[in-house]
A = this chain, B = another copy of it.
Amino acid sequence: MKNSAISEGPKDAAPHGPAGGISLGPLPTQIGFLLRLAQLAVFHDFIRSFSAVDIRPAQHSVLTLIQYNPGIRQAELSAVLGIKRANVVPLLDGLEKRKLVRRIRAESDRRSYTLHLTDKGLELMKILTRLREEHETRLRDLIGEEACGTLLELLPKLQKMSSDPVGDDLAEGE
């Protein structure tokens, strides 16, 4: 219980590195804890590579969904990506301001909007696709092709841990 029992590890020890004599207790055997650290590290690489075009991961997901589903509605986007409606509005405002996305009033329901990429948005998607592929190549080089395949198979299964992930938010805490 005395201070002398505590290792004076490096102050900048990364969570993944040897924790400089500091015990992580049961944390490294907790999948939730490891998922969060892995996600932060992978997003960090993603964010760094996308920062050249000032795009965050949630913005990338939104743009991708609009690209693959031109005319998608705001509510659908919010539900499918698990982004709260309160967060999806400013996110779309930002993309519209940058002239990457256009909101068009739905003909069938004048209260709702459909979403479309502009030509500028489509051009940006080409760059984002290239950056994403480079990011994925780095990831594959790091852990190997087989491990990537295993993760692509296992990670979706974990999503069943919650029937309501929309309570949390894909756009927060990137």
- Please give the residue numbers on chain A whose beta carbons come within 8 Å of chain B beta carbons, in ascending order: 1-3, 5-6, 8-16, 19-20, 22-48, 57, 61, 64-65, 67-73, 75-76, 79-82, 106-108, 114, 116, 129, 132, 135-136, 138-139, 142-143, 147-148, 150-152, 154-170, 172-174
Contact = CB atoms under 8 A, between A and B. Distances in A.
B150 A24 contact: no
A139 to B, nearest CB: 6
Given A3-B114, A41-B159, A25 B166 contact: no
Contacts of A36: 39, 43, 57, 170
B156 A34 contact: yes
A117 to B, nearest CB: 10
B22 A72 contact: yes
Given A12-B166, A13-B76, 7 more contacts: A6-B69, A6-B76, A15-B80, A15-B159, A38-B159, A45-B161, A143-B157
Contacts of A76: 6, 8-9, 11, 13, 20, 22
Given A31-B151, A107-B3, A162-B45, A172 B173 contact: yes
